[in-house]
Structure 1
């Protein structure tokens, strides 16, 4: 087999991958569109508690996961109280009041895009009773 024949076979080769229990075949050039495997859940947390919003996706090539809050991309800065984990989940070191809102993740690759459900992050109310002395 010559070099040109091998190259042609490589270009038309297909790959198989199981997605949600189904065997999927796709051209390497087209890839396999992302599928959300684990979605975030509604959360009610106390101020300053840690929290992870989960988002896991499959696809080929592996999809890039971005997080959105109320339809704007979540900014992840060096000194922020949150970071995106290697599996795509969003981790909050300490939940703050400004973190309240509606979140969802979007998985994207060359073959397409998939979005998770939208979930709400709420702050739990903390009530403190005032001790009053009776004379």
Structure 2
């Protein structure tokens, strides 16, 4: 596990850029944390660093937002807070084949209906910033974090 402190929005954007710089060919990222912990902010920073332009909406009410990536493939940003059962994911029309990056907020609500995670990111409010814990959950995630933490 890799633990760091994000003091402000610039630190969050920097982490998003570093994650984007080392993005594997395909990855599933679970974003954990209470409401307001910064999950959507980090997802937005990562998508922006991957070259997504235009409006990056929070999927709070739409449940899923899709973004074509300039380097190819698609990124999905899901917010599953409002689903009651993992079976509801079937109605979202998710096609895993073309998805390069899954960013999943409240993944525990979709358990069993989502691909297994490569990286779990836990965010919590700490003083004026955020505590961020990066935990690899697969060999892909381990390699990603190893690249990220190299000096």
TM-score where L is the length of structure 2: 0.26
Give the structure with the higher percent strand: 1
Give the structure with the higher percent helix: 2
TM-score where L is the length of structure 1: 0.28
Larger radius of gyration: 1
Higher relative contact order (CA 8 A, sep 6+): 2
